[in-house]
Amino acid sequence: MVTFKIALGVLFKVRCNGLDSFLIQKTQPTYMFCRVHQHFIFPTDLIDILFTTKPVWKLNMIRSIIYLTLLVCSTMTLPLANSQETNHHWSQFRGLDGSGIAEPNARPPVEFEVSKQTVWETEIPGTGWSSPVYTGNKVWLTTSISSAASPAEIAEKLKGDRLAQIKTIASSVELHAICIDLNNGKIIHDVILRKIESPEPINPMNSYASPTPAIKDGKVIFHFGNYGTWCVDESTGEVIWERKFVVKHSVGPGSSPVVFNDKVIIVCDGTDLQYIVAVELNTGKDVWKTDRPPIRASDGEYRKAYCTPIIIDVDGTQQAVVPGAQWVAGYNPDTGEELWRADHGSGFSITPMPAYQSGLVVFSTGYMKSFLVAVDPTGRGDITETGITWRSQPKKAPNMPSLIGHNGKIYAISDRGILRVLEAATGKVLNEQRIGGNFSSSPLLADDNLYLSSREGLMTVVSCSADLSKIATNKFESSLMASPILVGDDLLVRTEKKLIRIQNEK
């Protein structure tokens, strides 16, 4: 609530009434005289006011209205600008800080009917599990449009592959970067980045467009694993630079790029090679490249991982923390120097992004028996014996959904729908509840509620209260594989075939 005192000595109150509207009222007597909508002021009862006001007041009233109009126009950009920096800015996977947590003032819908509360919905061609990202009024995501492989192509491509039963292939695939207008859902750009003939097989649970883009300073970074990394101009859709970091993913790409200052950090944990690379945001030129710690397993399938780095601040020092097969390690994001490493066991194929809470990095160890492990990132060198502070019971940690760290607690939803809350400092299990369904999407925390999106197309909203009470279950028409994000107080949800903006019921 913002209160202005104008020349007449009458108090007017400006109330925020949603994302893009303001209501200006006179306190005594109360009446509305104008409405601010987006960037315009629409007089409503102005004429009535002038003709019902005593003549001696008319000149002062007109002067006051002009003064107030100019004042509102000049000040209304302040909350909008602040919103752009907070709720109106979700620029990479799980938000700017990688936590998956919305700003404290966000109030998204909890229980809703998609058909009634949709601002817009846009059909997205092809298949892609990348989450949407946005700054300003542009939303970006990726998709892949495949042509079906013939039985002969399938047989030839999967011949001799011991994991053939969990893989699928395409004859060819087009990689697309799509830009959508945040206000009306119209497609602004559909950029075909590359057409791949005879692409590598992927797991049917994966897609050729799973890594989430990242935006910084008018540049959008798209990473498609070994098929290429592109920087695209946010305004024009033109490609600025292109790179290739080739590793064997086995079941398709997964790690999302992260922008740190003027660098793009990319994790390349393949079955053959494992390293992390940083390139210049503006040019794509190499800044540093660091090999991952040596891995005991000789079988490449046990050496791969698909995790996205989390950038944390440890006693004033920035670290990029990346779990991988056997090891979790912290790096200097400016130089690539390995600061510490910890041997977490034989886990591999790690996908969930870690959480940083109570001074500890908490992460999942992936397949085969998944644990949650907490590491103190203040050490240096090999901290396996000194830095690992606790380890959870096996098999209940997620293999795909990322973790949430909030108020001294870790929230983890397993692939099979078991929600667990642990004390971050000790690993003590505080609560556990079966949500139901199967999960790949990472949770979103907003207004002290968890938004959990299942492959069955259900978005369950659970309170972060001690009893983890279910508040609502909202049904979508198709599977939810991508992670939802917030646009102000609106939800932006990618389903199997659509991108949907959902608002609170008016």
Domain boundaries along the sequence of the chain: 2-81, 86-502
What's the pLDDT score for residue 47? 33
What percentage of the chain exceeds 70 in pLDDT?
A: 82
Which residues have a Cβ under 8 Å from the Cβ of 264 and sit 6 or more positions away?
Answer: 214, 221, 229, 231, 257, 258, 278, 279, 280, 281, 284
Q: Once rounded to an integer, what is the mean pLDDT over residues 148-161?
A: 91
What's the pLDDT score for residue 23? 34
What's the pLDDT score for residue 129? 97
Cis peptide upstream of residue 368 (ω within 30 degrees of 0):
yes
Taking the CA atoms of 416, 417, 418 and 420 in sequence, report the sign of the dihedral they define: positive
User: At how many degrees (to 10) do helices 55-75 and 77-85 cross?
Assistant: 20
What's the pLDDT score for residue 89? 84
Q: Once rounded to an integer, what is the mean pLDDT over residues 243-247?
A: 97
Return the structure tokens found at 35. Answer: 């409405």
What's the pLDDT score for residue 396? 81
CB 443 within 8 A of CB 404: yes
Q: Cα(475)–Cα(20) distance, rounded to whole angstroms?
A: 27
Cis peptide upstream of residue 29 (ω within 30 degrees of 0):
yes
User: Residue-wise over 71-110: b if at least 16 C-beta within 10 A, else e?
Assistant: ebeeebeeeeeebeebbbbbbbbbbbebbbbbbeebebbb
- Residue 15 above 60 pLDDT? no
Q: Once rounded to an integer, what is the mean pLDDT over residues 478-489?
A: 96
Band of residue 505 on the pLDDT scale cut at 50, 70, 90: confident
Q: Once rounded to an integer, what is the mean pLDDT over residues 309-321?
A: 97
- Residue 41 above 90 pLDDT? no
Q: Once rounded to an integer, what is the mean pLDDT over residues 161-166?
A: 90
- Residue 235 above 90 pLDDT? yes
What's the pLDDT score for residue 368? 87
Could you say which DSSP state residue 235 is in?
T
How many CA atoms, within 13 angstroms, populate the side-chain half-sphere of residue 424?
Answer: 20
- Residue 76 above 80 pLDDT? no
Environment class of residue 286 by beta-carbon count within 10 Å: exposed (0-12), middle (13-18) or buried (19+)?
exposed
Give the 3-state secondary structure percentages of the chain, helix then strand then coil, rounded to 5: 10, 40, 45
- Residue 433 above 90 pLDDT? yes
Class of domain 86-502: mainly beta
CB 176 within 8 A of CB 126: yes
pTM over 0.95, yes/no = no
Band of residue 304 on the pLDDT scale cut at 50, 70, 90: very high
Provide the H-helix boundaries in 76-187.
Answer: 77-85, 114-117, 151-158
Q: Cα(210)–Cα(225) distance, rounded to whole angstroms?
A: 9
- Residue 35 above 80 pLDDT? no
Band of residue 88 on the pLDDT scale cut at 50, 70, 90: low
Which has more pLDDT, 16 or 314?
314
Q: What is the largest CA-CA distance in the chain?
A: 94
Task: Give tens-digit pLDDT for 371-390.
Answer: 999 999 999 999 999 999 99
Which has more pLDDT, 421 or 63?
421
Band of residue 506 on the pLDDT scale cut at 50, 70, 90: low
What's the pLDDT score for residue 50? 37
Q: Once rounded to an integer, what is the mean pLDDT over residues 490-496?
A: 97
Beta strands 274-280 and 310-314 are: unpaired
How many CA atoms, within 13 angstroms, populate the side-chain half-sphere of residue 489?
Answer: 17
- Residue 286 above 80 pLDDT? yes
- Residue 148 above 50 pLDDT? yes
Q: How far apart are the first and last CA of the chain?
A: 19
What's the pLDDT score for residue 69? 44
Task: Give tens-digit pLDDT for 93-136.
Answer: 999 999 999 999 999 999 999 999 999 999 999 999 999 999 99
Q: Where are the beta strands (DSSP E) in 67-169?
A: 89-90, 118-123, 133-135, 138-148
